[in-house]
Amino acid sequence: MRYLVIILVLFCISSCTKDDNPQNGTEPSIISYDFNTFSAFIDRLNEMTSIEDPLEREEEIVIFLDTMKTLGKLPFVKDDSVAFIYYGDATSVKWPGDFNLWDHTTVGWQGTNLNNSDLFLLEKTFPIDARLDYKIVVGTNWILDPLNNHIQYSGFGPNSELRMPQWIFPEETELWEGVERGTISDNIRITSQSLGYDLQYRVYLPFNYNVLDNLPIIYVTDGHEYLADDFGAMRIVLDNLIYEGTIEPIIAVFIDPRDPDNLGSNLRGDQYTANPLFASFVASELVPEIDQNYKTNPIADKRAILGTSLGGWNSAYFGIEIPETFHLIGIHSPAFDYNLLNLYENSSDLPHKFYLSTGTIYDTEDNALALKAIFDGKGYTYQYTAVNQGHSWGNWRGLIDEPLIMFFPASN
């Protein structure tokens, strides 16, 4: 019965009334799910939660919230203001996320119960183009927002996603109609003499690879996540940009940091933290194997490295440690130590092109700005992007196209 009511409400969003036959001569009140102001939405919540009859109150709240969810309007956002809502039996409801370093104990992130109604409200403001991951903590239980349709995956599982009104969805992360797709290999195993253990990688080849030659190439750390459609969606991005003619056809090598025999063992914390042995593996073992087996252009000016977080540290480190191997350095949200800055401060005449990005909300902005300042002082060629987001795949997946376009523009 509840869902029949919801369907009827949706059918008459703009025409149904609370009283179709008013006796007092006034205009009937319209059931509306559009709010011209943020305060009008808050007033509506207070109006519903103040209904004295508990059954009537619950019915009205449930229908309203279910309809708003179906319309994709929760959390409610107006300009830079956000209303986070949780409805259910609880004594404490908090919102951890990118906006408070995922610390639900931070002051100011606990919801207020409206009129003892089981509806909890948290009001916040964010940059109007922000995009942020979050969860809800009900008591001690961490959950996704049951009223939010948007999900962003992370290395720790799915999160709910807040989309502010001027955030632009990265359309290149969804496969466009008619795109002729490249291929992706199965995992290829390699035994590293430098590291003393096995690794695996996958290779992307562009559409029409058989008739192409002398192709530029990008190596990608955390390759399993950059490749996954729910994370980086990089294969889709490559297919779209190549098909559209935005970038030239390229090869991509996705390096997996996990133990091939135990995927639960992720070695990125060792590999990506300025590790000369990992640099030696890539430069002396992996790159020669790829150049031998695929139709690459084997010069550093046509070879890129891309990584995020610790992988961004690794990319920047490669630019110093093995500068003769990679001249195209892609850095998303670099989580490095300050020794790396000293290495760049003492560098000179690097022939590289750098792509550097960061989020501005508890991401790696301080690191990125410090590195950017060194690039400016050295006169290095770079592109810098800052977005109002956190340390999240929702941030990075929307910025994969930028280094690709910078490094491999199509020559039309």
Percent of the chain with pLDDT over 90: 91
Q: What is the pTM of this model?
A: 0.91
Which of 104, 2, 127 minimizes the C-alpha distance to 61? 2
Query: What's the pLDDT tens digit per position in 169-211?
Result: 999 999 999 999 999 999 999 999 999 999 999 999 999 999 9
CA distances from 135 to 41, 69, 70, 170, 344 (A): 22, 16, 19, 22, 38
Instruction: Kindly report the backbone phi and psi dihedral angles of residue 112, in degrees, each rounded to the nearest multiple of 5, phi listed first.
Output: -100, 130
Backbone torsion region of residue 100, taken as left when φ is above 0, otherwise alpha when ψ lies between -120 and 50, otherwise beta? alpha
> Tens digit of pLDDT for each residue in 337-384?
999 999 999 999 999 999 999 999 999 999 999 999 999 999 999 999
φ/ψ region of 323 (left if φ > 0, alpha if ψ in -120 to 50, else beta) reads alpha
Residue 204 has what pLDDT?
99
- Mean pLDDT, rounded, for 261-288: 98
Q: Is the CATH number of domain 33-166 2.60.40.10?
A: yes
Predicted local distance difference test score (pLDDT) of residue 411:
87
Q: Does domain 172-407 have CATH number 3.40.50.1820?
A: yes
- What are 82's two structure tokens? 């956000």
Locate tokens 């916040």: which residue? 124
Domains of the chain: which residue ranges?
33-166, 172-407
